[in-house]
Amino acid sequence: MSIEDLLYKPQNSLVVQSLHSRLGAEPTNGDGFGVGWYGSTETPGVFRSAEPAWNDRNLRELAAHVASPLVFAHIRASIGSPVQQTNCHPFRHGRWLWMHNGYLDGFAALKRDLLVTVDPDLFPSIEGSTDSELFFFLALTFGLAEDPPAAVARAVGCIEETAQRHGVAFPVQMTVATTDGQTVWAFRYSSEGRSRSLFHSTDVSTLRHQYPDNPMLHGLSDDARLVVSEPLGDLRGAWREVPESTSITVRGGAEELHDFEPA
Amino acid sequence: MSIEDLLYKPQNSLVVQSLHSRLGAEPTNGDGFGVGWYGSTETPGVFRSAEPAWNDRNLRELAAHVASPLVFAHIRASIGSPVQQTNCHPFRHGRWLWMHNGYLDGFAALKRDLLVTVDPDLFPSIEGSTDSELFFFLALTFGLAEDPPAAVARAVGCIEETAQRHGVAFPVQMTVATTDGQTVWAFRYSSEGRSRSLFHSTDVSTLRHQYPDNPMLHGLSDDARLVVSEPLGDLRGAWREVPESTSITVRGGAEELHDFEPA
Amino acid sequence: MSIEDLLYKPQNSLVVQSLHSRLGAEPTNGDGFGVGWYGSTETPGVFRSAEPAWNDRNLRELAAHVASPLVFAHIRASIGSPVQQTNCHPFRHGRWLWMHNGYLDGFAALKRDLLVTVDPDLFPSIEGSTDSELFFFLALTFGLAEDPPAAVARAVGCIEETAQRHGVAFPVQMTVATTDGQTVWAFRYSSEGRSRSLFHSTDVSTLRHQYPDNPMLHGLSDDARLVVSEPLGDLRGAWREVPESTSITVRGGAEELHDFEPA
Amino acid sequence: MSIEDLLYKPQNSLVVQSLHSRLGAEPTNGDGFGVGWYGSTETPGVFRSAEPAWNDRNLRELAAHVASPLVFAHIRASIGSPVQQTNCHPFRHGRWLWMHNGYLDGFAALKRDLLVTVDPDLFPSIEGSTDSELFFFLALTFGLAEDPPAAVARAVGCIEETAQRHGVAFPVQMTVATTDGQTVWAFRYSSEGRSRSLFHSTDVSTLRHQYPDNPMLHGLSDDARLVVSEPLGDLRGAWREVPESTSITVRGGAEELHDFEPA
């Protein structure tokens, strides 16, 4: 499946969402974008830009010419951090990609303590200034490569504990997706219990049967799964909402849902 | 009055409009912006960028440090032309500035004929690829510096005649503003008779009396006038809509309205 | 062969040349760059940017992840035209790519007449404002798709004739390369007879024998050929200069040189 | 004096230097630039961009329209940090500006310890990822606002001490300039004792007498002083080199030199 099929062709494609998000916290997501994909090299490719996704001609070229079994794509609405390439998602470390929809409340107050918590060997790899990238490096510090759900739970726990010391009530608002190129883990959680939307696609063969005329479905194999902040089209029955405080693991055409809580 | 007072401080400021336009044809105007102003030099200054106005830190700096008796500001929603600095408004030629909200329908078909109509001495000064800049150079060709309303009427007439030859029914959709640094001329017109919105402010001293607590009004002299696509705030009585097929001339604290029709 | 092998790995790679050109007319080529390549789609991919090649992180990502049997790459030193993506080489039309090292002297004076010479059906596809892109569209107008050397000769002839009418003595300074994805045609010519440098590589198998330790040579098949403005490394015997007023045609591991003169 | 007189008009102007530096460690300084100036507002204005100075049209506009009694200007050649606006000099905090020519050797290893040394109240104001900005915040932490030479000496001492712990032999290579809008302090120092070049101008009235035809000298008042990495023109006798391990203080048309050593 080419990246173009994901970014441009669906009715409510990610590029359309960047101009007019229906469910997002911000209607306009024009503060940069990024795409990550796994190709022939050891580490994934990452294409990120600080300009609006809807204007980027190179994104359109890349999307038409790169095919990959696993693609991460993100559109950004900054709530304060500078709009620059190093602050665009997905973030990469080795074979891992990470993207975050949401924010860490009170981040200016928490940042110093959280930075110090990062493994000193990982510290020099932090390139940007966002809460989202620091969150990634906390998860790496807590063992993302060994046990992703446990590492994310510990990172969230660490953030909430730090926030408590600084008098920040509800520090974490997140949907997060991370991958090693084989498995995708996604999380929906917020300290306050009012998380942003997260959906996953249902079985593609069933959908193809129900909607024989939909071209996007024919570009997808039976194993394909999409995990998205907003449904990409109006196919009823195609999307299931991931519940609050839940993690979802997708691998080889199967998904599992588990409860998620900070450790 | 500093540029900041115009661009950032009002409730529905131009920068706010760039993210969420209420009356515009496009809700998001994230495809560049520009500011022109008259200072101590012979020609006006122009600051233009292809990125969204709401993200531009240099615009904020410039706005805070430049004061001018006459400021042009524009936010762009491209409908096809490349998003690049040379396509951003206002356009400048000598002491003249020009900005255009709207489009020339069928421009791809008309462009060659219209380019050839431009005075060969002016031709090399065309820098970008938009309909709006070419429209400016047609108006310059037809005598903008001598009689602006007549020159714009002739430019519109020329465009409509060219369109007719190419089978384009309603080629002109415009609000246009132009100035030599002393007088501002603005136009509301469309071939179809359904033009985009255009407003001008009413007498500032009356408003200041009605709204004694509004800080923006205190930064304006009694002579100040604003001509805008959308009202900058909710002050009832502060804005009058310019009617269809009308030109407005603003100079020295007084405005005059005249009928406008293509020549 | 991945694009990375061409752009980053050689000793005097194109990215190194963008900072410190040895033979070029300008030591710094920091005014944008572009890469074109043929992949799985009908038309070639094109990645262009107005920033310096040495800083572009996305170029590095693309280069590592895209492999192609035929790659065009260009670094730009503007001599007047705006530094913007639409002015970056290579230019594309259908299956054709075009890049130009040099300039048309007196272009401001010639542009209007040359634009009018372009086939009206091709005219709307001109996106930028450079002499180089207009040169491409003249060649297309004169039959580039049917007989490239003849079309380029007629385009050069047309430019020289137009220049004569405007009193420009030596209008054309060029090395040009163009391709339909199968064959590459390159040209070295200037009206004055003092053209910029152009080199082509010699037989790869011979070189591999002479330099068994050079890794770049092992990434190239015996059929591979490079046509470059400057040699990419210090391998003596690896590069032959293309003489003045010469065209070179490369296809399937063989090259042919012919005299070139304007028609 | 307008910024234009400084940036564009001299023979070896800063914009010319960005393309072809004569004395700099890097011949090309195309990785961004910045200008800071003191105007009518409390804090100085700062205009920074990640693109090459020689291409920036907005810089040229700003330079022509902003006049100021005190201007800081910087061109950047990155040696690793991302090329982004938040990494461009001058850096600003309150009324203070700071720019640094040079680097902190082994910065990746030292960064974490140095960040932790910054006053936690100042910490959230760090926006970029460079050694130069962190150096500024160390100086602020050590009392830049009270006693600039002492604060810079303590910051350098702290960096050298931290470097020693990490086995970095010569961590500091610097010319630094900082100002509160009234006084300029500049420093030439390196741990190794081989610092980058730094010059200051001599008495303007003497120069004007020696070079009656030089237009730049007539735009300068007798009080004017320039402190630069490279002389801006060929006027013999116009420039004095600042010696190694020296600080220079410029205020009201007078300069003082003092020995500088880390505290």
CA–CA min distance A63, chain C (Å): 10
Task: Supply the pLDDT for residue C174.
Answer: 95
- C-alpha A104/C-alpha A160 separation (Å) is 10
Nearest to A30 among B50, B52, B78 (CB): B52
B31 contacts A28? CB cut-off 8 A: no
pLDDT of A204 higher than 90: no
CA–CA min distance C32, chain B (Å): 14
Which of B121, B129, B130, B141 should we substitute to test contact with C (largest number of C Cβ atoms within 10 Å)? B129
Domains, in order of start, for chain C: 1-89 (3.60.20.10), 96-198+242-263 (3.60.20.10)
Q: Mean pLDDT, to the nearest integer, of B139-151?
A: 98
Contacts of D177 (CB under 8 A, 6+ apart): D72, D98, D99, D184, D185, D186, D187, D227
Task: Supply the pLDDT for residue B1.
Answer: 58
- CA-nearest residue to B106 within chain C is C124
DSSP label of B118: S
B interface with A, Cβ–Cβ below 8 Å: 19-20, 27-28, 30-31, 50-52, 55, 78, 83
Task: Supply the pLDDT for residue B20.
Answer: 66
pLDDT of B154 higher than 90: yes
- C-alpha D114/C-alpha D107 separation (Å) is 9
B interface with D, Cβ–Cβ below 8 Å: 37, 39-41, 45-49, 57-58, 61-62, 64-67, 85
- CA-nearest residue to D123 within chain A is A112
Q: How much of chain A, in percent, has pLDDT values that exceed 90?
A: 54
- CA distance readout (Å), D225 to B144, D207, D263: 46, 12, 28
Q: Mean pLDDT, to the nearest integer, of C251-257?
A: 87
Nearest to A65 among C39, C58, C64 (CB): C39
Q: How much of chain C, in percent, has pLDDT values that exceed 70?
A: 90
**Region at C210 (left for phi over 0; alpha for psi -120 to 50; beta for the rest):** alpha
- CA-nearest residue to B50 within chain D is D58
- C-alpha C157/C-alpha B11 separation (Å) is 60
Q: How far apart are the first and last CA of chain A?
A: 37
Q: Report pLDDT digits (tens) over D83-93.
A: 899 999 999 99
Nearest to D30 among C28, C50, C78 (CB): C28
D interface with B, Cβ–Cβ below 8 Å: 37, 39-41, 45-49, 57-58, 61-62, 64-67, 85
Q: How confident is the model at residue A22 (pLDDT cuts 50, 70, 90)?
A: low
Residues of chain D with pLDDT under 50: none
Task: Supply the pLDDT for residue B26.
Answer: 67
- CA-nearest residue to B50 within chain C is C84
Task: Supply the pLDDT for residue A1.
Answer: 58
pLDDT of C175 higher than 90: yes
Q: Are D62 and B47 in contact (CB under 8 A)?
A: yes
C31 contacts D19? CB cut-off 8 A: no
Structure tokens at B193: 């008779």
Pick from B195, B153, B142, B152: nearest CA to B170: B195
Q: Which residues of B touch D65 (CB under 8 A)?
A: 37, 39-41, 45, 66
Q: Which residues of A touch D111 (CB under 8 A)?
A: 123-124
Q: What is the mean pLDDT of chain A?
A: 87
Contacts of C147 (CB under 8 A, 6+ apart): none
- C-alpha D140/C-alpha D133 separation (Å) is 11
Task: Supply the pLDDT for residue A201.
Answer: 81
- C-alpha A14/C-alpha A24 separation (Å) is 12
CA–CA min distance A126, chain D (Å): 9
Q: Which residues of B touch C120 (CB under 8 A)?
A: 112
Q: Are B160 and B104 in contact (CB under 8 A)?
A: no
pLDDT greater at residue B75 or residue B154: B154
Which of A15, A16, A51 should we substitute to test contact with B (largest number of B Cβ atoms within 10 Å)? A51
Q: Which residues of D touch A85 (CB under 8 A)?
A: 82, 84
pLDDT of B24 higher than 70: no
Nearest to C45 among A41, A46, A65 (CB): A65
- C-alpha A178/C-alpha A181 separation (Å) is 9
Q: How much of chain D, in percent, has pLDDT values that exceed 90?
A: 54
Q: What is the pTM of this model?
A: 0.90
Q: Counting beta carbons within 10 angstroms of the beta carbon of residue C6, is it exposed (0 to 12), middle (13 to 18) or buried (19 or more)?
A: buried
pLDDT of A208 higher than 90: no
Sign of the alpha-carbon dihedral angle for B217, B219, B221, B223: negative
Q: What is the mean pLDDT of chain D?
A: 87
Subunits that touch chain B (at least 3 Cβ pairs < 8 angstroms)? A, C, D
- E strands, B170-263, are 172-179, 184-190, 199-201, 227-228, 239-241, 246-251, 254-259
Q: In what order do the strands lie in the sheet with B227-228?
A: B227-228, B199-201, B239-241
Q: How confident is the model at residue A32 (pLDDT cuts 50, 70, 90)?
A: confident
Q: Mean pLDDT, to the nearest integer, of C65-79?
A: 84
Helix (H, G, I), strand (E, B) or coil at A137: helix
pLDDT of B235 higher than 80: no
Q: Report pLDDT digits (tens) over D5-54.
A: 777 777 667 666 766 666 666 667 778 889 999 987 889 999 999 888 88
Q: Which residues of D touch C78 (CB under 8 A)?
A: 55
